[in-house]
Amino acid sequence: MNIEVAELELRPVTDFRATAAAAAALERDGDERTAVRARLIRADAALREGRTAEGGTLAQQVNAWASQHDDGYVLACSHRTLTHFHYYIGDLAGALGNAVQAVAHLTDDDPPAIRVRHLMTLAVVLGDSGSADEAARRYREALDLAATMGDQQQMLMILGNLANLAGQENDHEAAAAAVAQMAELHDRSGIPLDGPQLITMARVRLAEGDYPAVEEILRPLTQDIQYAHSTGAALPEALLTLSEAHRLAGRFATAQADLDHVRRLAHERDLRAAEAAMLEQQAVLHAAMGRHREAYEAHVEFHRFFAELQSAQRDAQARTLQAVFEATEARRLGEHFRELAHRDALTGLHNRRYADERLPALLGDAVARHRPLAAAIVDLDHFKRINDTLSHDAGDLVLQQLGRLLADAAPDPAFAARLGGEEFLLVLPGTGLAEAVRRCTELCDRIRGYDWAPIAGALPVTASVGVTVTSADPVTAAGLLAHADRHLYAAKRAGRDRVVSGRP
């Protein structure tokens, strides 16, 4: 039975409907692990069909099962599906966190084809998140694996994504090189190019100013009825690319006909994003024809429509997230109580539970991006003296004010958390050791320089800080905190009110 579900997991994504139908039977009749893996296949299919809330809910269920059973492979696959879920609703941060975990939980024993897909997913999200170099590195790693496997279909897909990424970065030479590899592989293998791949090749030729080549490449999409029907989602994008090529070639009437076609398709199929892109190009076309009043009116219409589209997308995202939340967690606790569970009641900072959940994810992200992450443990000096000399109420007021100072020192994506008592944690993603020491020294100065007299009278309030940062060697969250803790005690032994730092 497990061999069967493994075969379904490796089927091409274009067969997702048939794959999901076969998975439904396995979910019903298979053992527990087979059923869970089959459910994840159904989750993928639901997402691809636009049933986003359903797909997200199923993926969350599988993710929870995999975590509970310490099943690394299923956990990795569920994180990939959750990446798709967050990506579809426009939550890039959530998508990136899951994509990193989808790769991190795989082992060398897992199928290479699965690793290729997970690397591609991570690369897509990295590219959209602004990390083009890291995205290209993952694509090339996936391409090498696919070549080793002899999977030419997957190689075409990866090369198309590489060309798109290079085009977005205005690296026309790299884009052209990737497209040339696609063309060579297509000619050698005979594998037909799909709509998005044809559009990618056309966009590269458009950037080169080869407008006749754009028409030639996109002819199957725009003139072959059977081809256009099978790739209907790509047709509006192909027409927009053609319109741009015709406008740049001075063929304004043909460019307008292309845009009119897009407008009809957008209205027939409710393709609001395509309609927004059409309105933007309409304004540019009017301007190119010297119709400046019409260009202005089209420009105004585009911005109005785009604002409405963004608002609708935000509403849809909120509804989808709410639906997933209600299906998976509402029976246990509401969103308000979920937030409270991650907050310290006295200071309003995050608590130990949040730190234990968040820090491993940030470490995974730091490894994926090859960026440092600093952690600092902050401990008030002689805090017991404040409680004993004054009162616990005075001590609570000191902790609350310290919480505010720490919150100011931890702008997003950093965070501050109360670990317990007078001990706090400061996590600084993307921060090297020197910068972390500087920021912690400033924090110590602010604590020392704050006017504590209304609360603590003549008693001084200072803090000791232990700082560490990730290195090339892998480290767990517990290991990182242990290093910071050692530096904290070194600061205490050295006289307090200071920062002591070091690497693991």
Written as one string, the DSSP assignment of 329-365 is TTTT--HHHHHHHTB-TTT-SEEHHHHHHHHHHHHHH
Written as one letter, the residue type at 176 is A
The first and second tokens of residue 249, run together, are 């070639």
Written as one letter, the residue type at 336 is H
**Model pLDDT for residues 421-467, shown as the tens digit of each residue:** 999 999 999 999 999 999 999 999 999 999 999 999 999 999 999 99
Better-scored residue on pLDDT, 290 or 168: 290
Strand partners, 378: 424, 465
Written as one string, the DSSP assignment of 408-462 is HT--TT-EEEEEETTEEEEEEET--HHHHHHHHHHHHHHHHHS--HHHHTT----
Residue 343: phi and psi, rounded to 5, are -120, 145
Does the domain formed by 352-501 have CATH 3.40.50.1970?
no
Is the pLDDT assigned to residue 330 strictly greater than 50?
no
Instruction: Report yes or no: 457 and 483 within 8 Å, Cβ to Cβ.
Output: no
Q: Are strands 373-380 and 463-469 parallel, antiparallel or unpaired?
A: antiparallel
**Model pLDDT for residues 212-235, shown as the tens digit of each residue:** 999 999 988 877 655 544 445 678
Distance in angstroms (rounded) separating the CA atoms of residues 27 and 500: 55
Is the pLDDT assigned to residue 488 strictly greater than 50?
yes
Is the pLDDT assigned to residue 361 strictly greater than 90?
no
Is the pLDDT assigned to residue 473 strictly greater than 70?
yes
Written as one string, the DSSP assignment of 388-402 is HHT-HHHHHHHHHHH
Is the pLDDT assigned to residue 288 strictly greater than 60?
yes
Secondary structure letter of residue 191 according to DSSP: P
State the CATH architecture for 116-191: Alpha Horseshoe (1.25)
Instruction: Report yes or no: 274 and 237 within 8 Å, Cβ to Cβ.
Output: yes
Beta strands in 252-291 (DSSP E): none
Is the pLDDT assigned to residue 3 strictly greater than 90?
no
Between the alpha carbon of residue 309 and those of residues 128, 259, 313, 315, the distances in Å are 20, 19, 6, 10
